[in-house]
Amino acid sequence: GAVVSQHPSRVICKSGTSVKIECRSLDFQATTMFWYRQFPKQSLMLMATSNEGSKATYEQGVEKDKFLINHASLTLSTLTVTSAHPEDSSFYICSARDLDRSDQPQHFGDGTRLSIL
Amino acid sequence: SQKIEQNSEALNIQEGKTATLTCNYTNYSPAYLQWYRQDPGRGPVFLLLIRENEKEKRKERLKVTFDTTLKQSLFHITASQPADSATYLCALSGGSYIPTFGRGTSLIVHP
């Protein structure tokens, strides 16, 4: 089945550091990838839709200068949390949709636990 | 505004019984409804998708119903096992296939 790999799985760093998270579709191509944020016992909140070769579409209330998204190829999207602060600590999850099967649901990575000290 | 409601209280059942989880929604006319399983510290895993014109779908021990009049979906796991213990997320989407997720319901199956 379709596999999405997300790296790193966990990051602990000091306030002010920028952190890059990678999301790769391993056995399919994805023109669109999605970035979510999840707080404990809360639902997944869509942050942005990452489009290959074009600018990402951000949801209302998500700062595009804070959360930089790059989707340089059909198999890779990156999310960079710039100058991270403790309030950015959360569980970040990416997902991707199979290019050739648009009637299928998304495939998720295993998430990145970000802890800012 | 669109709202998806899943029971926030954990569902505790005995092994071998059927688990039934509920997803209710308001102010939404979804084309698709999906159920995902999420284990602690992991990303969601897709289980089943049901379309608005389908009333029921099955996959092995799983069954999903979709009642667009009641605006409700029921998710059943028959012959439940301790390994079925997880959080189950309901997600609704329109034609864009970008789902909106509920908070999920935790299922605990006791041996």
pLDDT (tens digit per residue) in A78-102: 999 999 999 999 999 999 987 655 5
Quick check: B103 and A46 CB within 8 A? no
Q: Tell me what the mean pLDDT of segment A62-82 comes to.
A: 94
Query: Taking an 8 Å Cβ-Cβ cutoff, which residues of chain B contact chain A?
Result: 4, 8, 32, 34, 36, 41-46, 49, 89, 91, 97-104
Our CA-based measurement puts residue A96 at a distance from the nearest CA of chain B, in whole angstroms, of 10
> What residues in A contact B102, CB-CB < 8 Å?
43
> What residues in B contact A95, CB-CB < 8 Å?
43
pLDDT (tens digit per residue) in A10-57: 999 999 999 999 999 998 888 889 999 999 888 899 999 998 888 899
**Model pLDDT, residue A1:** 66
**Model pLDDT, residue B94:** 76
Q: What angle do CA B9, B13, B17 make, to 5 degrees?
A: 140
Quick check: B4 and A43 CB within 8 A? yes
The position carrying tokens 């070769």 is A53
Angstrom distance (rounded) from CA B52 to CA A34 = 24
More confident residue, B96 or B40: B40
Instruction: Provide CB contacts within 8 A for A25, sequence distance 6+.
Output: A2, A3, A4, A5, A33, A74, A75, A76, A96, A107
DSSP A111: -
**Which of A44, A90, A102 is best to mutate for the B interface (most B CBs within 10 A)?**
A44
pLDDT band of A76, cuts 50, 70, 90: very high
